[in-house]
Amino acid sequence: MDNSSVATLGVVRKTILITGASAGLGAEMARQFSAMGRTLALCARRAEELERLRSALPGPASVRVLDVTDHDAVFAVFGAFAAEFGTLDRVVVNAGIGKGRPIGTGGFAANRRTAETNFVAALAQAEAAMEIFRRQGHGHLVLVSSVSALRGLPGSATAYAATKAGVSALAEGIRADVLGTPIKVSAILPGYIRTELNARLRAPLMVDTVVGVRAMVRAIEREAPRALVPGWPWRVLAPVVRHAPLRVLKRVL
């Protein structure tokens, strides 16, 4: 059975854990899933923001403070949520940062932090989620990558794009391990989606938070193995991004 058949069979992932849930894409995913009647397990570094979000949600939610770069805490928090709810049906590995500097310009600390948060911490989250899913015999792992994963990017985006390419490859490898089982794996590749975290960014094809996250949620609900979101224009642009000469990409990105 492939991922796309799950929605057809009517499987509903009732209990959803989202990391990086205090702001941006994570907070909006929480709002939209809560409006769909799901029970949420939300974690992020900022307790006050998590509590503010939880109090505004229409449905049940539990919150725990988590810095995903604290790997022991990742396993502990995921395990505590699983024990609290009895099961975790879906885990959305969303926490990430976008800091970076061109390689070789003295920005190693920022690039290392990006790598540790976006890839190493994603690996820890995937490990913790998959241990739970393998034990309970079902689940849906969602890794939030980026359209930046399609190609190596210049300047301050180099390390970020590399981490997101790693996240996409991680998702595919895990999916290969569990093909034909009740454990499903999705890589979601958002394009430019406006959030409070990138409010000053002037990027082409930017969509607002609600619209962009609605596309993400639809892809997650389909349990698509890999989804570029919003589908328009990114499904059309993806081949261009992958194959355009680097000198062209450097001018437009």
Q: C-alpha dihedral over 181, 86, 78, 9, to 10 degrees?
A: 30
Rounded CA-CA distance 73/147 in Å is 29
Among the listed residues 126, 160, 171, 228, the single catalytic one is: 160
Contact 108, 158 (CB under 8 A): no
Contact 42, 61 (CB under 8 A): yes
> Six-digit token pair at 243?
């194959």
- Catalytic-residue membership of 192: no
Return the active site residues: 160
